[in-house]
Amino acid sequence: MALIIPNKYKQKLLPETTEIAIKNIKESFQQGLSEALNLRRITAPLFVLSGTGLNDDLNGVERAVSFPVAAMNDRKAEVVHSLAKWKRVKLNAYDIAPGYGLYTDMNAIRADEDLDNLHSLYVDQWDWEKTITPDDRNLEYLKKTVEQIYDVVKQNELRIYRQFPHITPILPDKVTFIHSEELLKEYPTLTPKEREEHAAKKYGAIFLIGIGNPLSNGEPHDGRAPDYDDWITPNCDGYVGLNGDLIFWNPILNTSFELSSMGIRVSPESLKAQLEQRGCMDRCKLNFHRMLLNGELPLSIGGGIGQSRLCMFLLQKAHIGEVQASLWPESQIKLCQEAGIPLL
């Protein structure tokens, strides 16, 4: 995604007022998320030890920022990409019962990001995880959870409107569920990103199911690491996959806008199948994978919700740098300044 400069962009809130609004959104959203999904807050690590399998591998090619720990004989630690697997270990450690879970403030550094309106070196998100039963490992349970999260987003959109009436709500009443294979059949000549844009613009808010498994054209809609979301198990709509992305249409940037990735997590069986498909069975030797394959971790559902992205969307900003402090190329800073887009 190249940098987008909207025509005649005008800030709806000055930077000083934006800071207040950011604080209010973050406080109200996490409270609403906690109540909707029965989650309690826990403290998150900024880094984990390398070689444990705990860090999120994202698409499997991104490099983690790492450093030697002098007090531990220079063992290598790495800054987290996300806490997708770490949270599941914590569910087990705290013996959290089915129907209940945890959330945390996750801060990460993704040094390989292409920097643009939506992507930053600094990632802040609410990482959440919830214990489920074997009977909950189905598409209906996933959809119900997505709807609960979407309702919390809608509540915060209305709260912003009441506080700042010139920021009018833009999200539809309901989120539309669609499988990535359905999108491919509808738009066979388009790229995955273009297919997302057509669907997001048509419906306003979609949950795109089935991220990671190859589609009928032999290519996955998008990359997903093989060891947290379950994207290989058949579901009730005739396709495969128990995961997806929550995507909105952003009229400020005239593009699709991903807010969250989430899914029912791998079982021992689906983990093995996904590792085999990706040719990385060597991960079975890592602590996390060994615990999961041995049945030592609870079944769960979980995901991440971008904090800065949520603030950016609800406050109708043109650049994520308007709601978080990060680093940007000088050329990008200059273009944004000229367009009236102040980066923090």
**What's the Rg (C-alpha) of the chain?**
20
pLDDT averaged over the chain? Answer: 93
What's residue 27's pLDDT? Answer: 95
Active site residue 245: yes
- Which of 110, 137, 195, 265 is catalytic? The answer is 110
Q: For residues 248 and 157, what is the distance between their CA atoms, to the nearest angstrom?
A: 13
Would you say residue 60 has pLDDT above 70?
no
- pLDDT tens profile 71-95: 999 999 988 877 888 899 999 999 9
What DSSP line would sit under 123-159, residue for residue? EEEEEEEEE--GGG-SHHHHHHHHHHHHHHHHHHHHH
Of 110, 93, 105, 54, nearest in space to 77 by CA: 54
Q: For residues 22 and 176, what is the distance between their CA atoms, to the nearest angstrom?
A: 27
Of the listed ranges 133-137, 155-159, 221-225, the one predicted with least confidence: 221-225
- Which of 82, 120, 256, 261 is catalytic? The answer is 261
What's residue 84's pLDDT? Answer: 83
Active site residue 34: no
* CATH ID of 15-338, from 3.40.1410.10, 3.30.930.10, 2.120.10.30, 2.40.110.10: 3.30.930.10
- Which of 245, 260, 265, 283 is catalytic? The answer is 245
What's residue 113's pLDDT? Answer: 84
Parse the chain into domains and list their residue ranges: 15-338
Active site residue 40: no
Between 46 and 60, residue with greater pLDDT: 46
Q: For residues 13 and 76, what is the distance between their CA atoms, to the nearest angstrom?
A: 43
> How much of the chain exceeds pLDDT 70, in percent?
98
Active site residue 269: no
- Which of 113, 148, 258, 332 is catalytic? The answer is 258
Would you say residue 118 has pLDDT above 80?
yes
- Which of 120, 125, 180, 300 is catalytic? The answer is 125
- pTM, full prediction: 0.93
Would you say residue 59 has pLDDT above 60?
no
